[in-house]
Amino acid sequence: MAIRKGDEKAFKTLFYEHYDQLYRNAYRYVEDAQVAEEMVQDAFVNFWENRRQTILTAGIKSYLFVSVRNLSLNYLKSRYARQKSLTVDASELQLEEMGNNHLDVRELEHLLAAAVRKLPEKCRIIFNLSRNHGMTYQEIADELNVSKETVKSQIKIALKKLQVALKEHWHLLLLLLLFD
């Protein structure tokens, strides 16, 4: 392979052949043009820097698509973590304003986590992908190879079961879910 030997012209050709598709794929995940461009550029830079060590079992196009997907998902996870740390203070403030002094946010999170663990497996997985990984219904459907309607249905089931399991604290947990 010419690229493995450092052929920059072959690398540029590869870049121009696949950039648009990779960009659209990244944009589907991150929904931000600048970030999508960065994900694709990072994938190509990583490939170029590791071209001698990289073993391509499924082809270069597949390698690049998987790389872009992984970079995009990692970006979403880090964005979710940043948002979560910023919104915990807001949710604590909301809970205080409601006059709830006997439960704090961490206790509510613990109650919610315990209830989520009791959900049926498929329901729990879909709920966690939506809530903890910030994935859209369509992304979840694609990832799990199910229909978007199945994802919607499982989210509804999860919310109903959580509402029943946590009925005493449901109004507070809704705040936690909305601000989390």
Q: Is the pLDDT of residue 126 over 70?
A: yes
Neighbours of 132 (CB within 10 A): 13
Kindly state whether residue 128 falls inside one of the protein's structural domains: yes
119 shares a domain with 62: no
Residue 101's pLDDT is: 42
Domain count, the chain: 2
Closest CA to 30 of 158, 113, 139: 139
Q: Is the pLDDT of residue 21 over 50?
A: yes
Kindly state whether residue 81 falls inside one of the protein's structural domains: no
151 shares a domain with 103: yes
Kindly state whether residue 93 falls inside one of the protein's structural domains: no
**pLDDT tens-digit series, residues 157-180:** 988 888 888 777 666 666 555 544
pLDDT band at 104 (very low <50, low <70, confident <90, very high): low
Kindly state whether residue 122 falls inside one of the protein's structural domains: yes
**pLDDT tens-digit series, residues 53-79:** 777 666 788 888 888 888 888 887 777
Give the burial class of 49: count Cβ atoms within 10 A of its Cβ; 0-12 exposed, 13-18 middle, 19 or more buried.
exposed
Mean pLDDT of the chain: 78
pLDDT over 70, % of the chain: 74
CA–CA distance, 170 with 164 (Å, rounded to integer): 8
Structural domain containing residue 11: 3-74
Question: What type of residue sits at position 153?
Answer: S
Kindly state whether residue 90 falls inside one of the protein's structural domains: no
103 shares a domain with 172: yes
pLDDT band at 152 (very low <50, low <70, confident <90, very high): very high
CATH (domain of 166): 1.10.10.10
Kindly state whether residue 113 falls inside one of the protein's structural domains: yes
Kindly state whether residue 159 falls inside one of the protein's structural domains: yes
Residue 77's pLDDT is: 78
pTM: 0.46
65 shares a domain with 107: no
Residue 100's pLDDT is: 45
- How confident is the model over 40-47, as a mean pLDDT? 88
CA–CA distance, 25 with 40 (Å, rounded to integer): 9
172 shares a domain with 137: yes
Q: Is the pLDDT of residue 110 over 70?
A: yes
174 shares a domain with 102: yes
CATH (domain of 26): 1.10.1740
107 shares a domain with 160: yes
Sign of the alpha-carbon torsion through 49, 30, 91, 125? negative
- Least confident range of 4-13, 16-25, 95-104: 95-104
pLDDT band at 146 (very low <50, low <70, confident <90, very high): very high
CA–CA distance, 100 with 13 (Å, rounded to integer): 61
